[in-house]
Amino acid sequence: MKALQIFSDEALERGREMSPDQILKFLEDFRSLHASKPVKSRLISMKVPEDLLAAFKTKASMEGCPYQTKIKQLMKGWLHNPVT
């Protein structure tokens, strides 16, 4: 059974005032409190120009970071600080 959180009107109002970082932290904390197993990852497929992927892999390697990890870091960063 999945956990269901019910919020009061006051809690919802506080939530409207939260930054994206605070919302993401809340959701991660809630999930970790109620998760009985590790968070699943999903395999995705996307087309990327070969030269872009090669350059990305090279730069990630130069930083000592696996390129897929770097992609996930960039995705999380975008959620925290979306470019408008």
pLDDT score for 18: 87
Q: Are residues 25 and 51 in the same domain?
A: no
User: How many angstroms separate the CA atoms of 8 and 81, rounded?
Assistant: 28
| pLDDT beyond 70 at 35 | no
Q: Are residues 32 and 54 in the same domain?
A: no
pLDDT per position as a tens digit, 56-84 = 999 999 999 999 999 998 988 888 776 65
pLDDT per position as a tens digit, 2-34 = 667 677 888 888 888 888 888 888 888 777 776
Q: Are residues 35 and 10 in the same domain?
A: yes
Whether 67 and 61 have beta carbons less than 8 Å apart is answered as yes
User: How many angstroms separate the CA atoms of 33 and 3, rounded?
Assistant: 10
User: How many angstroms separate the CA atoms of 33 and 26, rounded?
Assistant: 11
Q: Are residues 62 and 82 in the same domain?
A: yes
Q: Are residues 35 and 58 in the same domain?
A: no
Entry pTM:
0.53
Sign for the CA dihedral angle at 60, 63, 68, 74 comes to negative
Domain total in the chain: 2
Q: Domain containing 65: what range?
A: 41-84
